[in-house]
């Protein structure tokens, strides 16, 4: 790159910084910036277009176009050349703009006399902010250096916009990260929460995008890269000879960290006047923009790696985000792109709410949030780019809405809602010790789901009759090593102590799929939900399951013990698992240990195949529990974690309810006790429909016991069944509309 241009661009950045330091703000500042750029680039026109909302751009300042057009001229994303630069995140460089396809003539701007056009996106970390344009009368194509220089300026503008430095009061546009904003998402867990944002992966804030001393910035960048490479080498050495994804990711990171192109581009940006941080971010923004458009999943993953690596580098350069947990506010609402169950468990149940940019209602992280009754919103697009640590946030888990930096009216309406919910809780508390008896005199046993010691106090508070599902894998997920038998035995014993004689159904380890143990080699499976998981692992690698069964027997220490095996797909799997437990009991007997007073061995019905197992299976099983989360995903072939397909199929779909009825009937033939422990059991309308189909035991998160009991106590199951049967006979797809109409009538 020619030295002259480097110096030019450095000069321009220097002038820009000076403009920033001067007292004016808002429109005046924007005007001054456009003047400076036009002057330095020797063009007649320089204009800044910024997003007004998600898909409208507004001309916010110009040097050269008509002043009356400022804040009047607007265009939609993809409209005209400016709209196209914004939509594609790519520069447009044309010597004859009016001839370009898609050119849209804006008469109010007087731009018809300008022939050349260079527009570059103003963007920061995947967030589009606007477009920076220079135009000139003379028909000429801008040189590569000029394009590059304008991109560097756009980068600085993006940083300044981010900081609110150039927005001020300009045309009513509020700086980013300051305005009130609402996000819509999917409901992962109902409930309302008020608190402050706590970012799982806090964004690094670059406070000075322009280099004071390029030489010094270059040194800083090289030092940071060296530290980064060193840390990757250490991580790889620590990973030792283990093979698998983790090592591969580290290898890819090291490849990027050693990539000459990456470093060279950043060095060039610094030479043009950017600070080291801004240079890293410019590369990162470009990678993110590419990520949006690359259809190939593999390449997208690589760009994602680059993104992650840039984050690490920024952390090294700025020293930000190192000890995030230390600054966690008491009323933290966790905001994250996505989170795994293990990471969520590390945060513990003190979080007020959780908002995920991606995530899914069916994931195990969602299961944990539900177990803890923490309001959870998933798929809140844009939240991680907009939210900053410490921002006020309201999570409305009933409507699926998040209010970030809400104004007073929204906050006070929200607080009224919180007060109303507290009243409903009081109502549920008043029926806590009453049975879930329906209007027609049927009793339904309500149990709670649990997985952590901390869940047990809810047993009393919720009014549940016992624990219908104890997810033992959660204990494994929160540790960094396989727990020892003694530890597990004492934990299970404490669970039984806390249950105080009430039944606890311990489900043996259900790992695989999205529940990956940190110390287990991850399997490279194309379809993990259909892969080597749960009982399949237990039967193939018997050691861990044996150890767990021994721990359970010892924990019972003469008390009744209930064990159930997850994901049984065929009779033989149940027979083998059952035999393993009986063998362990026998072994304990030989060793002279106290044996459980009573042993109940159940199977989870989570694959449709098991509903068609031979009668002998139903005779042998002491009880069956429907794992509705998995059963539904396999019944409809709709991934429980994929938001696009998950909601397509209603649980009250006639086919699914009829299938549940078949399972009820098969269990009735052999007198096998049946329960339902998927998330749907905790949804009051679904729960009463299951009861109407004949289910007499439901297990749910503790917070659902009250609402489910309340509705069951008001329901006449015979009438409800008639409504369901009528809807089925009429050929409806789902019985929900008929059931809702009935409930309204019955009120």
For Mg ion, the binding residues (CB under 5 A) are 606, 627, 630
Nearer to ligand PEP, 133 or 469 (CB): 469
Considering the complex, what minimum distance in angstroms separates the CB of residue 397 from ligand PEP?
Answer: 19
Nearer to ligand PEP, 90 or 696 (CB): 696
List helix spans (H) across 186-320: 214-239, 245-257, 260-271, 276-293, 297-318
Cα distance between residue 513 and residue 491, in whole Å: 25
Nearer to ligand PEP, 271 or 604 (CB): 604
Considering the complex, what minimum distance in angstroms separates the CB of residue 625 from ligand PEP?
Answer: 8
Nearer to Mg ion, 394 or 469 (CB): 469
Considering the complex, what minimum distance in angstroms separates the CB of residue 528 from ligand PEP?
Answer: 12
469 binds, among ligand PEP, Mg ion, none (CB under 5 to 8 A by kind): ligand PEP
Cα distance between residue 716 and residue 688, in whole Å: 9
Considering the complex, what minimum distance in angstroms separates the CB of residue 567 from ligand PEP?
Answer: 8
Considering the complex, what minimum distance in angstroms separates the CB of residue 681 from ligand PEP?
Answer: 9
Name the pairing type of β-strands 181-184 and 56-63.
Answer: unpaired
Nearer to Mg ion, 341 or 627 (CB): 627
**Residue ranges of E strands in 324-444:** 332-336, 353-356, 376-378, 392-396, 401-404
706 binds, among ligand PEP, Mg ion, none (CB under 5 to 8 A by kind): none
Crossing angle for the helix pair 260-271 and 276-293, nearest 10 degrees? 130
**Which residues would be at the binding site for ligand PEP (CB under 6 A)?**
367, 469, 471, 510, 606, 627-630, 677-678
Report the Cα–Cα distance between both ends of the chain, in Å, rounded: 77
335 binds, among ligand PEP, Mg ion, none (CB under 5 to 8 A by kind): none
Which residues, in sequence order, are CB contacts of 409 under 8 Å at separation 6+?
none
Considering the complex, what minimum distance in angstroms separates the CB of residue 451 from ligand PEP?
Answer: 9
Q: Is the CA virtual torsion 95, 99, 103, 109 positive or negative?
A: positive
Cα distance between residue 219 and residue 290, in whole Å: 28
Considering the complex, what minimum distance in angstroms separates the CB of residue 628 from Mg ion?
Answer: 8
Considering the complex, what minimum distance in angstroms separates the CB of residue 185 from Mg ion?
Answer: 24
Within a 10 A sphere around the Cβ of 543, how many other Cβ atoms? Answer: 9
Which residues, in sequence order, are CB contacts of 672 under 8 Å at separation 6+?
618, 619, 621, 622, 623, 624
Residue (of 478, 424, 456, 469) closest to 706 by Cα position: 424
Cα distance between residue 668 and residue 380, in whole Å: 44
628 binds, among Mg ion, ligand PEP, none (CB under 5 to 8 A by kind): ligand PEP
Nearer to ligand PEP, 334 or 367 (CB): 367
94 binds, among ligand PEP, Mg ion, none (CB under 5 to 8 A by kind): none
Name the pairing type of β-strands 186-189 and 192-199.
Answer: unpaired
Nearer to ligand PEP, 367 or 495 (CB): 367
Considering the complex, what minimum distance in angstroms separates the CB of residue 582 from ligand PEP?
Answer: 24
Task: Give the residues across from 512 on adjacent strands.
Answer: 515
Within a 10 A sphere around the Cβ of 484, how many other Cβ atoms? Answer: 11
In Å, how far are 81, 299, 649 from 291, measured between CA atoms?
Answer: 22, 8, 31
Q: In what order do the strands lie in the sheet with 56-63?
A: 74-76, 56-63, 45-53, 127-136, 116-124, 92-94
Cα distance between residue 162 and residue 281, in whole Å: 13
360 binds, among ligand PEP, Mg ion, none (CB under 5 to 8 A by kind): none
Cα distance between residue 516 and residue 231, in whole Å: 25
User: φ and ψ at 350, to 5 degrees?
Assistant: -80, -5
Considering the complex, what minimum distance in angstroms separates the CB of residue 681 from Mg ion?
Answer: 13
Considering the complex, what minimum distance in angstroms separates the CB of residue 241 from Mg ion?
Answer: 33
Nearer to ligand PEP, 617 or 635 (CB): 635
Considering the complex, what minimum distance in angstroms separates the CB of residue 651 from Mg ion?
Answer: 15
Considering the complex, what minimum distance in angstroms separates the CB of residue 604 from ligand PEP?
Answer: 7
Which residues, in sequence order, are CB contacts of 611 under 8 Å at separation 6+?
605, 659, 662, 663, 666
Considering the complex, what minimum distance in angstroms separates the CB of residue 486 from ligand PEP?
Answer: 26
111 binds, among Mg ion, ligand PEP, none (CB under 5 to 8 A by kind): none
Residue (of 713, 728, 243, 629) closest to 435 by Cα position: 713
269 binds, among Mg ion, ligand PEP, none (CB under 5 to 8 A by kind): none
For residue 569, is it left (φ>0), alpha (ψ between -120 and 50) or beta?
alpha
Nearer to Mg ion, 187 or 511 (CB): 511
58 binds, among ligand PEP, Mg ion, none (CB under 5 to 8 A by kind): none
Nearer to ligand PEP, 57 or 376 (CB): 376
- Per DSSP, the three-state class of 302 is helix
367 binds, among ligand PEP, Mg ion, none (CB under 5 to 8 A by kind): ligand PEP
63 binds, among Mg ion, ligand PEP, none (CB under 5 to 8 A by kind): none
Cα distance between residue 684 and residue 133, in whole Å: 56
Cα distance between residue 54 and residue 398, in whole Å: 25
Residue (of 159, 192, 193, 194) closest to 177 by Cα position: 159
471 binds, among Mg ion, ligand PEP, none (CB under 5 to 8 A by kind): ligand PEP
């Amino acid at each position: 790159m020619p030295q002259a241009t480097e110096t030019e661009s450095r000069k321009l950045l220097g002038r820009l910084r000076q403009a920033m330091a001067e007292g004016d703000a808002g429109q005046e500042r924007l005007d001054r910036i456009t003047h400076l750029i036009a002057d330095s680039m020797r063009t007649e026109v320089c204009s800044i277009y910024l997003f007004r909302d998600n898909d409208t751009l507004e001309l916010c300042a110009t040097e050269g176009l008509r002043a009356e057009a400022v804040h009047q001229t607007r265009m939609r994303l993809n409209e005209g050349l400016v709209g196209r630069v914004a939509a594609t995140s790519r520069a447009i460089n044309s010597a004859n703009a009016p001839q370009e396809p898609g050119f849209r003539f804006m008469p109010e701007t007087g731009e018809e006399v300008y022939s050349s056009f260079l527009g570059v996106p103003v963007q920061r970390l995947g967030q589009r902010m606007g477009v920076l344009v220079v135009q000139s009368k003379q028909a000429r194509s801008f040189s590569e250096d000029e394009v590059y220089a304008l991109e560097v300026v756009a980068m600085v503008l993006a940083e300044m916009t981010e900081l609110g430095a150039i927005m001020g009061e300009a045309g009513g546009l509020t700086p980013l990260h300051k305005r009130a904003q609402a996000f819509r998402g999917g409901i992962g867990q109902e409930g309302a929460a008020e608190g402050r944002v706590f970012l799982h992966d806090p964004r690094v804030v670059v406070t000075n995008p322009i280099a004071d001393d390029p030489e010094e910035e270059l040194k800083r960048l090289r030092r940071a890269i060296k530290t980064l490479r060193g840390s990757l080498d250490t991580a790889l050495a620590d990973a030792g000879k283990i093979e698998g994804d983790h090592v591969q990711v580290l290898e890819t990171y090291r490849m990027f960290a050693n990539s000459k192109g990456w470093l060279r581009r950043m060095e060039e940006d610094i030479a043009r006047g950017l600070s080291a941080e801004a240079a890293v971010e410019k590369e990162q923004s470009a990678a993110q923009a590419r990520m949006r458009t690359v259809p190939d999943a593999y390449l997208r993953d690589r760009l994602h790696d680059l993104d992650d690596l840039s984050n690490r580098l920024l952390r090294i350069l700025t020293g930000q985000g190192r000890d995030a947990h230390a600054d966690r506010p008491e009323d933290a609402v966790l905001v994250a792109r996505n989170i795994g169950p293990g990471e969520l468990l590390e945060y513990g149940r003190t979080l007020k709410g959780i908002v995920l940019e991606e995530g899914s209602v069916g994931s195990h992280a969602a299961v944990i949030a539900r177990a803890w009754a923490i309001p959870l919103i998933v798929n809140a697009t844009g939240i991680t780019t907009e939210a900053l640590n410490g921002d006020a946030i309201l999570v409305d888990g009933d409507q699926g809405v998040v209010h970030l930096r809400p104004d007073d009216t929204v906050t006070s309406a929200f607080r009224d809602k919180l007060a109303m919910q507290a009243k409903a809780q009081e109502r549920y508390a008043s029926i806590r010790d009453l049975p879930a008896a329906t209007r027609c005199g049927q009793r339904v046993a309500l149990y709670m789901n649990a997985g952590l010691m901390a869940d047990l106090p809810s047993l009393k508070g919720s009014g549940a009759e016992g624990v219908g599902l104890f997810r033992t894998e959660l204990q494994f997920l929160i540790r960094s090593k396989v727990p020892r038998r003694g530890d597990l035995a004492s934990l299970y014993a404490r669970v039984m102590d806390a249950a105080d004689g009430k039944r606890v159904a311990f489900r043996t380890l259900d790992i695989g799929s999205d529940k990956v143990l940190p110390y287990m080699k991850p399997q490279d499976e194309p379809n993990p939900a259909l892969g080597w998981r749960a009982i399949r692992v237990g039967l193939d690698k018997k050691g861990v399951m044996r150890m767990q069964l021994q721990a359970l027997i010892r924990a019972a220490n003469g008390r009744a013990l209930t064990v159930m095996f997850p994901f049984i797909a065929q009779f033989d799997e149940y027979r083998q698992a059952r035999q393993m437990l009986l063998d362990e009991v026998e072994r304990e007997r030989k060793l002279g240990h106290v044996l459980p007073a009573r042993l109940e061995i159940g199977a989870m019905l989570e694959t449709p195949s098991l509903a068609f197992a031979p009668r002998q299976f139903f005779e042998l099983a002491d009880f069956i529990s429907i794992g509705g989360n998995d059963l539904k995903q396999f019944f409809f072939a709709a991934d429980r974690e994929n938001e696009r397909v998950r909601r397509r199929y209603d649980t009250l779909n006639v086919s699914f309810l009829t299938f549940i009825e078949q399972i009820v009937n098969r269990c009735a033939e052999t007198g096998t006790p049946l329960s339902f422990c998927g998330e749907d059991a905790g949804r009051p309308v679904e729960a009463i429909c299951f009861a109407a189909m004949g289910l007499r035991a439901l297990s749910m998160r503790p917070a659902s016991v009250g609402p489910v009991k309340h509705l069951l106590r008001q329901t006449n199951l015979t009438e409800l069944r008639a409504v369901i049967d009528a809807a089925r006979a009429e050929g409806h797809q789902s019985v929900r509309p008929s059931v809702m109409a009935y409930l309204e009538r019955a009120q």
